[in-house]
Structure 1
């Protein structure tokens, strides 16, 4: 019986979706040589992931000899050829992701040209990640890739990621309208209040805003944005204030690893009435009722040097804590708290993950390290602080003695134990 090629009869959009799961350009090339039909399909494939290091891995595994000084030239010629071939098709670009090192002026011109072509093709998701590997993965380089001015007219974008780039100076002057943008991710980019304002005012549909170790920014300020739902900021020492007025903001994640600061930046988020979930990496949060008056779920990751925790909130229902803080040094004033989870392992809870809220106030302890006998005395100290916990769940790696505290329900998961002598 003659075999039938059923895959080739699938609609082109479905085949493109299947091709999107290929992990390397080598796999895509293999598909393209199956037939003229498949060559045409790969030529019109609208998802481009150009990663210089992965590209070189493919060449090395294929045994293709290439001098070090020719590697970047070969990579960019591949990028240019692939984009030029695609632009001959009557198809829009979905994704363009380029990750490579900072280049010389001739190579930069090739990248600029390719970005211009895919912007004309209505690209939806754009990632430009061009660190200067000569200086390592630092925060600020003496030479950075300057995003071309044509980037300002990218009205088709729904997702934009810029890493280790310079934003055009005309960005704050020209009328910029990212009317479709929903996700904005900036990493190690020079920012100031004017740039932040230009981005937020030109992106009326923006839902998620991520800022990671961007320099030059002293105040993060967003005012009156109606669609913004998630904000993540990993900030450098110079940020001293965070002001957000976004009525639909529901999740905020802050990373403050500045060991010299000692306290978080001043914050004003009182108008964000839907902000019920906060993830904070750092120390210094005390009065949550002032900064986060509607907070219900808190994910807190304290640095090792932090040995004491004091928190106060009347709206808080859940705390998930990752810390090595002594139990006796935890002071909570949270009368409506239903779940207090404590862990000292690296597998921290996902901030956006869902979890069930117990019907009775419950404390959960997940500990991988062996503990001393006095650990249970410290546990009793926190249980004696009238936190209203009715259930205690321990996931520990120690010998357990009969508890001396009152509890209606206890669940113990014992990884290993020693014989009591």
Structure 2
């Protein structure tokens, strides 16, 4: 019937669940709708004050918690961001929360405050999730009773090493351990007592932090990063179940990596970021599906000859003069058996003064390792990096003659006209089905290529010496999408001048952008 309020007839647990998605300010407004909604509001078990609400209402937490305590209402989750820390108030809150069997507590008091956290929280036997920012945690005199704790998140906090060892001994159900910009620890040792631990994140480990030793057989996700690029000792060979491993600014050696990978038979995702000690990355893994290697400036070789399941590979190519960190970077040597399902993303970062014959020669050689891949993405600051000089093309084979899909992301500087860039890319990959450009528009510019079917034609190849079809003679139709009118005109003239017979289809719905490819 029209006008009937069906939602208010829902069971109160469902109304409570609906309100749990709202900040406290919005949830409180529903109390005026009806007695049912008022009852749901006053017994709300999930309380989220958002980021800025307490700037205006400093006593609202006291009132709400007092109400829950007086009515003996269970509190499932509390999220509070305190602009100004008040130790007496927080002490009182924690005592109420423990009495109300708090399950999930998220408390943020700002950066670098390191206020001592109330010891009363360590008696919270029902606590499942504890997330703190800006606190100092020390082993309490009465011990730790986190028998139900599943997730521990500490951000910008000081952690006592004795407390960590107590947590590892008591919290047998711990599944997630996440520390970010933490202090107090010199090392992290996780014993085999945490059999349910599945995710460990150590982000921005401090300079004094020297050692990571994790013996947890069921860890699947591991992320370690440091401030000082000098975290050397990492022992994780006992973590046989790791599927995703990310190392950032960690001083891992070639020998360490080569020794580690055979001990991780389930590894599917590997990130290596700012690992300056690495010179050779040699991967031997039948399970690895994704590999990202960023800013490993001293890398001289990447050997992926024994990774048949690899589907995604991302890499940034540095080349140029001596840089601030005191190293010389160069294009690494690749050894890769590219799967036909592989999608590669390559970021080109040369010194502007290094765009010489050597650069283009090494670039062509490197790209050749990804021939026959499913798709290639090339990202660069300006188009000079990918416009191979025409006089050099005569001395090289097109590196990606077996690749059907290429995506180009050019940042700010654009010195060449659109036809010059397309001409170079059609030399690099002469059998393209699609060529797309990310030019900062809402939609990417796109060129689709359709070729003549010559399977049943008794036609002599136009370029018999080449191991690929010559697009200039085989191209039947070109579809141009999301180019400006100026670009369309240049591309139309280019294709008509370089082909015998050709249909050109221009999508009028995508031609209104004011951004030009060329200056």
Q: Which TM-score band applies after superposition, normalised by the shorter structure?
A: 0.7 to 0.9
Residue 3 of structure 1 is matched in structure 2 by 3
Residue 64 of structure 2 is matched in structure 1 by 82
- Of 377, 395, 405, the residue aligned with 2:399 is 405
Which runs of structure 2 are paired with 1:3-82 in the superposition (5 Å)?
3-22=3-22, 24-51=23-50, 53-56=52-55, 74-75=57-58, 77-82=59-64
Residue 442 of structure 2 is matched in structure 1 by none
Aligned equivalents of 2:402, 2:11: Cα separation in 1: 60
Shift of 1:375: 5.6
Question: Post-superposition, which runs of at least 4 consecutive aligned residues in structure 1 deviate over 6 A?
Answer: 368-371
Q: Is the 8 A contact 2:161 2:184 kept in 1?
A: no
Quick check: 1:321 aligned with 2:283?
A: no
Unpaired segments ≥5 residues, structure 1: 57-70, 132-136, 346-357
Quick check: 1:200 aligned with 2:168?
A: yes
Aligned equivalents of 1:245, 1:118: Cα separation in 2: 33
Aligned equivalents of 1:2, 1:250: Cα separation in 2: 52
Q: Is the 8 A contact 2:291 2:314 kept in 1?
A: yes
Aligned equivalents of 1:2, 1:51: Cα separation in 2: 36
Deviates more, 1:364-373 or 1:286-295: 364-373
**TM-score where L is the length of structure 2:** 0.63
Q: Is the 8 A contact 1:193 1:221 kept in 2?
A: no
Shift of 1:190: 2.2
Q: Is the 8 A contact 1:152 1:176 kept in 2?
A: yes
Residue 100 of structure 2 is matched in structure 1 by 121
Q: Is the 8 A contact 2:54 2:82 kept in 1?
A: no
Residues 275, 301 of structure 1: alpha-carbon distance in 2 compared, 3 angstrom cutoff? closer
Calculate the aligned-residue CA RMSD, in Å.
3.3
Report SS of the residue matched to 2:158: coil
Shift of 1:17: 1.3
Residues 335, 213 of structure 1: alpha-carbon distance in 2 compared, 3 angstrom cutoff? same
Quick check: 1:210 aligned with 2:178?
A: yes
- Encode CA deviations 1:327-362: one digit per residue, 9 max, x unaligned: x954123432243522569xxxxxxxxxxxx95473
Aligned equivalents of 1:388, 1:51: Cα separation in 2: 48
Shift of 1:151: 0.9
Report SS of the residue matched to 1:321: strand
Q: Is the 8 A contact 1:281 1:302 kept in 2?
A: yes
Q: Is the 8 A contact 1:163 1:186 kept in 2?
A: yes
Aligned equivalents of 1:145, 1:411: Cα separation in 2: 55
Report SS of the residue matched to 1:4: coil
Residues 201, 390 of structure 1: alpha-carbon distance in 2 compared, 3 angstrom cutoff? farther
Quick check: 1:238 aligned with 2:208?
A: yes
Unpaired segments ≥5 residues, structure 2: 318-337, 411-416, 424-519
- Of 192, 206, 221, the residue aligned with 2:189 is 221
- Encode CA deviations 1:250-304: one digit per residue, 9 max, x unaligned: 2110112315x3xx3211111211123201122533331324431633443534x
Residue 272 of structure 1 is matched in structure 2 by 239
- Of 221, 228, 231, the residue aligned with 1:251 is 221
Residues 294, 2 of structure 1: alpha-carbon distance in 2 compared, 3 angstrom cutoff? closer
Residues 50, 146 of structure 1: alpha-carbon distance in 2 compared, 3 angstrom cutoff? farther
Shift of 1:318: 3.9
Aligned pair count? Answer: 370
Aligned equivalents of 1:308, 1:148: Cα separation in 2: 44
Aligned equivalents of 1:2, 1:410: Cα separation in 2: 57
Q: Is the 8 A contact 2:225 2:250 kept in 1?
A: no
Report SS of the residue matched to 2:132: strand
- Of 144, 148, 151, the residue aligned with 1:176 is 144
Report SS of the residue matched to 2:8: helix
Aligned equivalents of 1:319, 1:199: Cα separation in 2: 34
Q: Is the 8 A contact 2:152 2:178 kept in 1?
A: yes
Shift of 1:365: 1.8
